């Protein structure tokens, strides 16, 4: 997997930026339940009164509250308030907000920093609770005692308090605070808000306006945070898509480049269908998981951990509900991973198989129809298709089962929270808003684990795909360039020497070629002839190093081909393979495939030599005639002639024709050989064929049988000395035609 991870290196900046945006998004999303809680508790239940320092206080009530302060606290509090009366500036505006100002002075809170407000609240809370409790006792002693406002001795008016020493007043305030603390922090907040709300009413403040302004303000923050979260989500998705697509592009390019460097040995190891699947489907799986990794892997843990911390901050008593849900979720995810991984591994192999069957069917459609094997091929495809379908359905069923289980856990968690939280609200140890926030955080925690479970569904298949891609990237070609390569002389001569060459195919039980030795000289044609399977194509494929020899030496101009770079070696060879391949494009583009700089005169010349001029000029499009993929829109003979022309246009000192005249009629074959004889000049020509008529006039004919040279010489010499050649010759031509 490390080999794949390295592709993220160029995009580390984008990944880190995306993670930073995810961190911001998580924090924004986690703020929303808090603000919702504030709207419910403060905005609706408390009428917009925040449990902080009161913004307005009557002079009379401020005096009563100050009875419970020491000199330092009193000095601090009065420093944070401004005393308004009928002589104050902007009196008309203030009296609209605080109608009590017409009858008595009012203290109004100055604009303070958040820290100062917090300090003020902490210093005023005990005094506010004490003054409120004593007011309740004075107004209705019996009801006050029922509500828990009993301070231990009889109070009938504030005069009873003012005459007491400060130390006693402080003890009274401390005792009242402790009695409320025993009921929980929630009680302190609620009683404090009730006291402040009663004071606001006495001052004459518009409570509906206060509530409305608070809800609108907090709602605006929620809307702003939601919009910012949406922006973060969009940008994270953009960067995740960019990174995933670019990494997939890089991986796909490297796989293609690696495959381009494979020798025939590596192609024997990996089927074409498998390499196509690895370059497409496997890379797509990797791209998808990279996107989700960036989008979810950082987001889900941050959301889960943040949600747990904030949920416990709202109600620590219900931690066990979340812990139980999380444990069940982890178990469910691990079971899913354990069951799904082997199936995902087999799925990619089955996709390979399906591609292989489909490819064979499409490429061999004419043979299939000729032998009426459509039903057989349908059964083959159906089996491969059904095998893949079964595995796909199995993995889909895991997902289908997983989702309802997740929903069941979420609904069970919701019921548990509401059940326990409802009892705590009834006991006044929790507020409704806090319960709603806790429930929302719990859902966020479950959703984060749901995202992680999705990753555990995607990861196994992507892991298999990454392994398959890594196999290709880690495959070291058997044929490699030398560290210190040699170079050909300028210009290269093209002299080829085989010295005691033997070759065995990978995993072969015996050699395909045995002790092959011969020399192919410049300006001469060396022909290879023999029965099917005698090793003719194998031999010529060793020259461009499509395979490497097992023993012996192959020399070109006296240099071992293993001491030359593959690129330099193949530049000296014009090659026409046994299976002719044309590429989609035009006739001209196929010609220039071998020589991009070829001028029109050279193209015309090689087309004439290859006997392709007539059928090209018969088309109104000429050299611009379209060639479909694989040359499927031209005949076998036309394809061979175009392939020969493409090899000639390279103007290499070595020309190899691997059974390249088999689709030509005898007349065209003879005309091509005559034209070729004039063209080759000092080129070294190797022709692989089974036609005696094609090799009769070669300067050297090599006869192969079961991988061994059984005859070597000219046509006339071999007729006298080689029984195998004589049998081939007499099986094809009459005796008078052989002389």
Query: Do residue 326 and residue 454 come from a single domain?
Result: yes
Q: With the C-alpha atoms ordered 365, 369, 375, 380, is the resulting torsion angle positive or negative?
A: negative
Say yes or no to pLDDT of 20 above 70.
Answer: yes
Report the predicted TM-score, pTM, of the whole model to 2 decimal places: 0.71
- Establish if 227 belongs to a structural domain: no
- Establish if 237 belongs to a structural domain: no
Query: Do residue 292 and residue 370 come from a single domain?
Result: yes
Tell me the sheet residues that pair with 501: 516
- Residue 426 vs residue 56, higher pLDDT: 56
pLDDT digits (tens, 9 = 90+) for 425-483: 776 667 777 778 888 888 888 888 777 777 766 777 777 778 788 888 888 888 888 88
Query: Do residue 369 and residue 469 come from a single domain?
Result: yes
Per the structure, the count of domains in the chain is: 3
- For strand 684-689 and strand 525-530, is the pairing parallel, antiparallel, or unpaired? parallel
120 DSSP assignment? H
Quote the mean pLDDT of the chain: 82
Q: At residue 444, what are phi and psi to the nearest 5 degrees?
A: -65, -40
- Establish if 178 belongs to a structural domain: yes
Average pLDDT of span 733-739:
63
- Judge contact between 322 and 314, C-beta under 8 A: no
Q: With the C-alpha atoms ordered 359, 365, 367, 369, is the resulting torsion angle positive or negative?
A: positive
Average pLDDT of span 70-90:
86
| Sequence-separated (6 or more) residues with CB below 8 Å from residue 173 | 68, 126, 127, 129, 130
Task: Among 216, 249, 275, give the residue marking a domain's end.
Answer: 216
CA distance 494 to 499: 16
- For strand 573-576 and strand 654-658, is the pairing parallel, antiparallel, or unpaired? parallel
Q: Give Cα 325 distance to the centre of its chain.
A: 29
- Exposure string of 103-120, with b = 16+ CB inside 10 Å and e = fewer, is eebbbbbeeeeeeebebb
CATH, residue 391: 1.20.1560.10
Ramachandran area for residue 595 (φ above 0: left; ψ -120 to 50: alpha; else beta): beta
- What was the pLDDT predicted at 737? 57
Whether residue 425 is preceded by a cis peptide bond, meaning omega within 30 degrees of 0, is: no
- Establish if 4 belongs to a structural domain: no
pLDDT digits (tens, 9 = 90+) for 578-625: 888 888 888 888 888 888 888 888 888 888 888 888 888 887 788 888
pLDDT digits (tens, 9 = 90+) for 678-712: 777 788 999 998 888 888 888 899 999 988 999 99
- Residue 305 vs residue 267, higher pLDDT: 305
Query: Do residue 592 and residue 721 come from a single domain?
Result: yes
Q: DSSP H helical segments within 427-504, as ranges?
A: 432-474
Say yes or no to pLDDT of 401 above 90.
Answer: no
CA distance 705 to 517: 14
Query: Do residue 354 and residue 435 come from a single domain?
Result: yes
CATH, residue 682: 3.40.50.300
Structure tokens of 47?
A: 């009428």
- Judge contact between 640 and 662, C-beta under 8 A: yes
- Establish if 413 belongs to a structural domain: yes
Query: Do residue 429 and residue 522 come from a single domain?
Result: no
Query: Do residue 308 and residue 182 come from a single domain?
Result: no
Tell me the sheet residues that pair with 559: 556
- For strand 525-530 and strand 513-520, is the pairing parallel, antiparallel, or unpaired? unpaired
User: In whole angstroms, how far apart are CA 508 and each of 101, 554, 560, 578, 581?
Assistant: 107, 21, 25, 22, 27
Question: Which has the closest alpha carbon to 582: 572, 594, 568, 573?
Answer: 594
Query: Do residue 532 and residue 386 come from a single domain?
Result: no
Question: Which has the closest alpha carbon to 444: 413, 405, 401?
Answer: 413
- Establish if 516 belongs to a structural domain: yes
pLDDT band for position 317 (50/70/90)? confident
pLDDT band for position 200 (50/70/90)? confident
Average pLDDT of span 65-94:
86
Domain range enclosing 198: 34-79+109-216
For the CA atoms of 30, 33, 37, 43, what is the dihedral angle to 10 degrees?
100
Tell me the sheet residues that pair with 577: none
Q: At residue 150, what are phi and psi to the nearest 5 degrees?
A: -75, 125
pLDDT digits (tens, 9 = 90+) for 334-381: 777 777 767 776 776 787 788 778 777 776 777 777 777 788 888 888
- Establish if 366 belongs to a structural domain: yes
Structure tokens of 187?
A: 């009680």
- Establish if 671 belongs to a structural domain: yes
Task: Among 161, 187, 216, give the residue marking a domain's end.
Answer: 216
Query: Do residue 468 and residue 516 come from a single domain?
Result: no
- What was the pLDDT predicted at 621? 80
Query: Do residue 294 and residue 433 come from a single domain?
Result: yes
Task: Among 216, 232, 252, give the residue marking a domain's end.
Answer: 216
- What was the pLDDT predicted at 739? 57
Query: Do residue 395 and residue 501 come from a single domain?
Result: no
Query: Do residue 441 and residue 583 come from a single domain?
Result: no
């Amino acid at each position: 997997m490390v080999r794949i991870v390295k592709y993220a290196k160029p995009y580390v900046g984008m990944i880190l930026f995306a993670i930073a945006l995810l961190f911001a998004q998580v924090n924004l999303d986690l703020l929303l339940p808090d603000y919702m809680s504030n709207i419910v508790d403060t905005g609706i239940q408390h009428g917009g009164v925040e449990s902080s320092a009161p913004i307005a206080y009557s002079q009379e009530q401020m005096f009563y509250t100050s009875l419970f302060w020491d000199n330092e606290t009193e000095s601090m509090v009065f420093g944070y308030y401004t005393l308004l009366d009928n002589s104050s500036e902007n009196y008309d505006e203030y009296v609209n907000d605080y109608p009590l100002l017409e009858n008595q002075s009012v203290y109004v809170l100055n604009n303070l920093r958040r820290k100062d407000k917090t300090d003020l609240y902490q210093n005023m809370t005990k005094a506010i609770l004490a003054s409120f409790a004593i007011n309740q006792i004075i107004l209705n002693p019996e009801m006050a005692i029922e509500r828990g406002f009993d301070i231990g001795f009889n109070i009938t008016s504030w005069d009873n308090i003012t005459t007491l020493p400060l130390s006693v007043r402080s003890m009274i305030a401390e005792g009242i605070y402790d009695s409320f603390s025993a009921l929980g922090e929630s009680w302190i907040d609620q009683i404090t808000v009730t006291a402040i709300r009663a004071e606001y009413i006495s001052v004459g403040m518009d409570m509906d306006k206060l509530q409305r302004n608070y809800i609108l303000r907090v709602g605006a923050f929620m809307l702003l945070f939601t919009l910012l979260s949406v922006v973060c989500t969009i940008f994270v998705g953009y960067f995740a898509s960019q990174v995933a697509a670019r990494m997939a592009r890089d991986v796909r390019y490297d796989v293609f480049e690696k495959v381009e460097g494979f020798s025939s040995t590596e192609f024997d190891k990996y089927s074409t269908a498998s390499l196509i699947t690895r370059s497409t489907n496997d890379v797509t799986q990797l791209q998808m998981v990279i996107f989700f990794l960036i989008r979810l892997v950082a987001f889900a843990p941050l959301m889960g951990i943040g949600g747990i911390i904030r949920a416990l901050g709202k109600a620590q008593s219900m931690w066990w509900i979340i812990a139980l849900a999380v444990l069940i979720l982890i178990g469910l995810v691990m079971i899913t991973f354990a069951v799904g991984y082997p199936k995902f591994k087999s799925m990619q192999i089955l996709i390979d198989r399906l591609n292989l069957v489909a490819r064979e069917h499409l490429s061999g459609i004419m043979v299939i129809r000729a032998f009426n094997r459509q039903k057989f091929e349908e059964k083959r495809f159906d089996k491969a298709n059904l095998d893949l379908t079964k595995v796909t359905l199995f993995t889909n069923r895991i997902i289908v089962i997983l989702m309802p289980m997740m929903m069941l856990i979420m609904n069970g968690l919701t019921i548990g929270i509401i059940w326990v939280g409802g009892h705590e609200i009834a006991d006044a140890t929790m507020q409704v808003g806090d319960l709603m926030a806790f429930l929302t955080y719990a859902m966020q925690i479950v959703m984060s684990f749901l995202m992680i479970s999705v990753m555990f569904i995607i990861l196994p298949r992507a892991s298999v795909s990454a392994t398959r891609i890594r196999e290709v990237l880690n495959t070291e070609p058997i044929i490699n360039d030398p560290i210190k390569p040699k170079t050909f002389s300028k210009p290269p001569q093209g002299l080829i020497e085989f010295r005691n060459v033997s070759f065995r195919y990978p995993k072969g039980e015996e050699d395909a070629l045995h002790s092959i030795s011969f020399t192919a000289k410049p300006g001469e044609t060396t022909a290879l002839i023999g029965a099917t399977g005698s090793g003719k194509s194998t031999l010529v494929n060793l020259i461009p190093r499509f395979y490497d020899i097992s023993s012996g030496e192959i020399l070109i101009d006296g240099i071992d081909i293993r001491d030359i770079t593959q690129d330099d070696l193949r530049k000296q060879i014009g090659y026409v393979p046994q299976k002719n391949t044309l590429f989609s494009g035009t006739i001209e583009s196929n010609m220039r495939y071998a020589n991009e700089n070829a001028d029109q005169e050279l193209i015309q010349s090689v087309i004439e030599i290859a006997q392709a001029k007539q059928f090209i000029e018969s088309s109104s499009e000429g050299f611009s005639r379209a060639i479909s993929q694989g040359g499927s829109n031209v005949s076998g003979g036309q394809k061979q002639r175009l392939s020969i022309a493409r090899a000639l246009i390279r103007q290499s000192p070595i020309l190899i024709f691997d059974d390249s005249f088999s689709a030509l009629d005898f007349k065209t074959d003879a005309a091509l050989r005559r034209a070729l004889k004039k063209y080759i000049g000092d080129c070294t020509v190797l022709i692989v064929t089974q036609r005696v008529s094609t090799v009769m006039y070669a300067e050297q004919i090599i006869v192969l049988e079961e991988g061994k040279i059984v005859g070597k010489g000219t046509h006339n010499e071999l007729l006298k000395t080689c029984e195998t050649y004589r049998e081939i010759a007499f099986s094809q031509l009459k005796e008078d035609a052989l002389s």
